[in-house]
């Protein structure tokens, strides 16, 4: 940043030097003999070996050309440095926004729209970078303008004052008229860019349903409306930012013509005024672009204001200190997990999702949670995993509360197998060791995890084995194979607790039985928590908790609940 500011100052002064060279240059061309009349040049010119006025023309041409050449090089160098700086800062901001977003607590992610986040990290951070670049160019143009105006004051203060008032008022009026439209376009760009990403995500994410329903036109129309609105707003901003230049060129020509006429009426006529007029003409040629750059960059900043505000909100996300600690060791699990009078709700004024839940999960046990949709099963699983924190009550492991610094250590001891396993377009090995850099994958652990998940035989039958690429979202795998990869992924983590959240609900009965056979074959040192709709999924659990309306209404083994709970019995009969 310091180098950029220094270059700005040097570039601005080089503009002044190139402008200042025009007065003596034109003066030598018009009246070369007058150079010898100045005291400063009377001794300098003979020192340069120049004895006649005719010999002055070539040196003055060279000086003028060199000054203009240096000014051009400095302008290019400044553009290169400021652009590289803005893009480097833009990259840092994008990474910072992504990092802060990933480190947010789970309850924050649940409340967000992914389209907002993706647009913010990509498009709106890009807008912030453009604003930063425009700010640097605005500062540079302002320095150039101030220094040029100061230099021209030496030539003719009155003319400079008139020019400043004319151009300044013109651009001021244009800015006043266009500001409201820029703000409207800014808000439209910020909102429609989110809708564009949303349309893409929903259309491509639900491509099976789109193809079957033939709803391609619906999603194309949604995308078209959002995209067209965003681009029209961007186009409007470009027109507003660029168009004043053409008006100012006309104003500049009229002003110089008027000044030329006024100067020709002075003593000495147009010949005497020609050097001054040439300096003013060149000055206008520098000043108008500088003013246009100031206005253009101001318009760019104003036109991206709403996007920058959204980007700043992403960058101001607090970094949870406990979640950053990636070096802490997993929490050793020895005895039991205990929920004590736990209550939870997602918002301060929202309904209680869990209300007074208490239970105990012994180490090495197989525990099931069943109940209708909305009974609180998944929220209970999220609390067990430390993704959510209780509003009231307490979660403890081996008698110690899970809060503050212990949350991250506990999460390292827990692995998760959801209903829909995220499969990346990578190799099977990389999907099992998901999140681990390729060069750091432990293949021995991969083989062991795949064997325990009853996946090894399938993998080794593939042409490339563990290096087989599975396609985006695991398109080349069956549902059972994807679930087994999820189980292998959890086992690779070498966690103490495995949580299965509706992990087999999308599978057919035969595949579900095969997957659950894999689960039952896992070591007795693992504690397994199963969230399920199907009672067959939890049939072999040591203890089952039946939930309803955020409470545990019954508990016991499968056979015990068949006897004690009418609801559980009805669910079992419905499955049968």
If one counts every other C-beta atom within 10 angstroms of the C-beta of residue 327, the result is: 6
What is the C-alpha separation between 314 and 101, in angstroms, rounded? Answer: 7
Q: Report the pLDDT value the prediction gives residue 40, as an integer from 0 to 100.
A: 45
DSSP string, 96-110: HHHHHHHTS-HHHHH
Domain residue spans of the chain: 2-315, 364-387+411-575
What is the C-alpha separation between 325 and 405, in angstroms, rounded? Answer: 8
What is the C-alpha separation between 226 and 230, in angstroms, rounded? Answer: 6
- pLDDT tier at 526 (50, 70, 90 boundaries)? confident
Chain centroid, CA 428 distance in Å? 29
What is the C-alpha separation between 131 and 135, in angstroms, rounded? Answer: 6
pLDDT for residue 25 is more than 70: no
- pLDDT tier at 361 (50, 70, 90 boundaries)? very high
Q: Which of 93, 85, 88 is nearest to 120 (CA)?
A: 93
Which are the contacts of 172, defined by CB distance < 8 A and separation ≥ 6?
Answer: none
Q: Which of 189, 529, 573 is nearest to 381 (CA)?
A: 529
β pairing state of 392-397 and 336-344: antiparallel
- pLDDT tier at 34 (50, 70, 90 boundaries)? low
Q: Report the pLDDT value the prediction gives residue 391, as an integer from 0 to 100.
A: 92
Sign of the four-CA dihedral 405, 355, 500, 507: negative
The residue among 201 and 379 whose pLDDT is bigger is: 379
What is the C-alpha separation between 528 and 496, in angstroms, rounded? Answer: 9
Contact 340, 396 (CB under 8 A): yes
Q: Report the pLDDT value the prediction gives residue 2, as an integer from 0 to 100.
A: 60
Residue 357 belongs to what H/E stretch? strand 354-362
If one counts every other C-beta atom within 10 angstroms of the C-beta of residue 376, the result is: 22
What is the C-alpha separation between 511 and 534, in angstroms, rounded? Answer: 14
Q: Residue range 177-197: average pLDDT?
A: 86
Q: How many helices (H) and strands (E) would you count in the chain?
A: 23, 10
The answer to which of 71-85, 189-203, 255-269 has the lowest mean pLDDT is: 255-269
What is the C-alpha separation between 196 and 201, in angstroms, rounded? Answer: 9
Per-residue pLDDT of 462-508, as tens digits, reads 888 888 887 766 677 777 788 888 888 888 888 889 898 876 666 66
Token pair, residue 302, equals 């104003």
Q: Report the pLDDT value the prediction gives residue 390, as an integer from 0 to 100.
A: 92
Contact 524, 366 (CB under 8 A): no
pLDDT for residue 198 is more than 60: yes
What is the C-alpha separation between 279 and 321, in angstroms, rounded? Answer: 61
Q: Report the pLDDT value the prediction gives residue 255, as an integer from 0 to 100.
A: 67
What is the C-alpha separation between 88 and 84, in angstroms, rounded? Answer: 6
DSSP string, 499-543: EEESTTTTS-HHHHHHHHHHHHTS-TTSEEEEEESSGGGGTT-SE
The domain 364-387+411-575 is placed in CATH, from the list 3.40.710.10, 3.20.20.70, 3.40.109.10, 3.40.50.300, at 3.40.50.300
What is the C-alpha separation between 23 and 38, in angstroms, rounded? Answer: 14
- DSSP-derived 3-state class of residue 547: strand
Contact 140, 12 (CB under 8 A): yes
- pLDDT tier at 39 (50, 70, 90 boundaries)? very low
What is the C-alpha separation between 28 and 38, in angstroms, rounded? Answer: 12
Half-sphere exposure of residue 560: CA atoms within 13 angstroms, side-chain side: 11
Alpha-carbon distance values, 543 to 359, 409, 474, 498, 559 (Å): 11, 26, 34, 15, 10
Per-residue pLDDT of 227-280, as tens digits, reads 888 889 888 888 888 878 777 767 766 766 666 666 566 555 555 555 555 556
Token pair, residue 400, equals 């110690």
Share of the chain above pLDDT 90, in %: 9
β strands within 363-468, DSSP E? 366-370, 392-397, 400-401, 414-417
pLDDT for residue 127 is more than 60: yes
DSSP string, 223-270: HHHHHHHHHHHHHHHHHHHHTHHHHHHHHHHHHHHHHHHHHHTSTTHH
pLDDT for residue 328 is more than 70: no
pTM of the model: 0.69
CATH architecture, domain 2-315: Up-down Bundle (1.20)
What is the C-alpha separation between 100 and 493, in angstroms, rounded? Answer: 24
Token pair, residue 143, equals 């320095």
Q: Residue range 101-110: average pLDDT?
A: 82
Lookup result for tokens 């601005």 = 12
The answer to which of 176-185, 255-264, 304-313, 450-459 has the lowest mean pLDDT is: 255-264
Lookup result for tokens 């593939």 = 462
Token pair, residue 7, equals 């270059």
Q: What b/e string do you get for 283-303 counting C-beta neighbours within 10 Å, with b at 16 or more?
A: bbebbbbbbbbbbbbbbbbbb
Q: Report the pLDDT value the prediction gives residue 304, as an integer from 0 to 100.
A: 84
pLDDT for residue 20 is more than 60: no
Q: Left, alpha or beta for 549 (phi > 0: left; psi -120 to 50: alpha)?
A: left
Per-residue pLDDT of 132-162, as tens digits, reads 888 888 887 777 777 767 766 666 676 667 6
Mean pLDDT of the chain: 78
């Amino acid at each position: 940043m310091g180098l950029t500011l220094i270059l700005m100052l040097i570039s601005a002064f080089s503009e002044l030097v190139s402008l200042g060279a025009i007065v003596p240059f034109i003066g030598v061309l018009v009246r070369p003999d007058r150079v010898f009349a100045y005291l400063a040049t009377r001794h300098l010119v003979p020192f340069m070996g120049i004895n006649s006025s005719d010999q002055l023309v070539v040196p003055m041409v060279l000086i003028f050309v060199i000054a203009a050449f240096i000014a051009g090089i400095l302008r290019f160098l400044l553009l290169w440095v400021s652009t590289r700086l803005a893009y480097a800062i833009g990259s840092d901001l994008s990474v910072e926004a992504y990092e802060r977003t990933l480190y947010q607590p789970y309850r924050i992610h649940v409340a967000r729209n992914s389209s907002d986040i993706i647009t913010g990290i990509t498009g709106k951070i890009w807008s912030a970078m453009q604003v930063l670049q425009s700010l640097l160019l605005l500062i540079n143009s302002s320095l150039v303008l101030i220094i040029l105006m100061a230099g021209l004051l030496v030539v003719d203060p009155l003319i400079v004052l008139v020019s400043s008032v004319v151009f300044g008022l013109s651009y001021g009026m244009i800015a006043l008229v266009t500001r409201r439209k820029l703000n409207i376009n800014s808000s439209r760009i910020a909102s429609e860019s989110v809708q564009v990403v949303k349309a893409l995500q929903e259309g491509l994410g639900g491509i099976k349903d789109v193809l079957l329903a033939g709803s391609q036109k619906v999603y194309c129309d949604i995308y078209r409306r959002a995209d067209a609105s965003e681009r029209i707003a961007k186009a409007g901003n470009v027109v507003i930012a660029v168009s004043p230049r053409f008006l100012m060129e006309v104003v500049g020509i009229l002003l110089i013509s008027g000044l030329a006429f006024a100067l020709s009426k002075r003593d000495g006529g147009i010949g005497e005024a020609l050097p001054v007029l040439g300096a003013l003409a060149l000055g206008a040629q520098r000043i108008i672009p500088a003013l246009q750059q100031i206005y253009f960059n101001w318009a760019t900043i104003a036109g991206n204001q709403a996007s920058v505000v959204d980007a700043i909100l992403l960058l101001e996300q607090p970094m949870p200190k406990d979640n950053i600690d990636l070096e802490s060791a997993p929490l050793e699990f020895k005895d039991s997990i205990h929920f004590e009078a736990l209550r939870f709700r997602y918002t301060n004024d929202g309904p209680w999702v869990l209300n007074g839940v208490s239970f105990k999960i012994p180490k090495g046990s197989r525990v099931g949670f069943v109940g209708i949709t909305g009974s609180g099963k998944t929220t209970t699983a999220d609390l067990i995993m430390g993704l959510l924190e209780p509003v009231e009550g307490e979660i403890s492991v081996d008698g110690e509360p899970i809060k503050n610094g212990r949350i991250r250590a506990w999460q390292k001891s827990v692995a998760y197998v959801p209903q829909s396993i995220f499969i990346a377009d990578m190799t099977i090995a990389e999907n099992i060791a998901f999140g681990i850099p390729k060069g750091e994958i432990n293949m021995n652990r991969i083989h062991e995890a795949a064997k325990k998940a009853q996946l090894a035989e399938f993998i080794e039958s593939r042409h490339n084995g563990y290096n087989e690429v599975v396609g985006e979202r695991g398109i080349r795998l069956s549902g059972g194979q994807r679930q087994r990869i999820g189980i292998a992924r959890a086992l690779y983590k070498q966690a103490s607790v495995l949580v299965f959240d509706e992990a087999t609900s999308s599978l057919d009965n035969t595949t579900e039985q095969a997957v659950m056979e894999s689960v039952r074959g896992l070591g007795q040192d693992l504690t397994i928590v199963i969230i399920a709709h199907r009672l067959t999924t939890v049939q072999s659990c040591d203890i089952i908790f039946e939930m309803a309306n955020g409470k545990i209404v019954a508990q016991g083994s499968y056979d015990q609940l068949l006897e004690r709970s009418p609801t559980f019995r009805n669910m079992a009969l419905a499955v049968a």
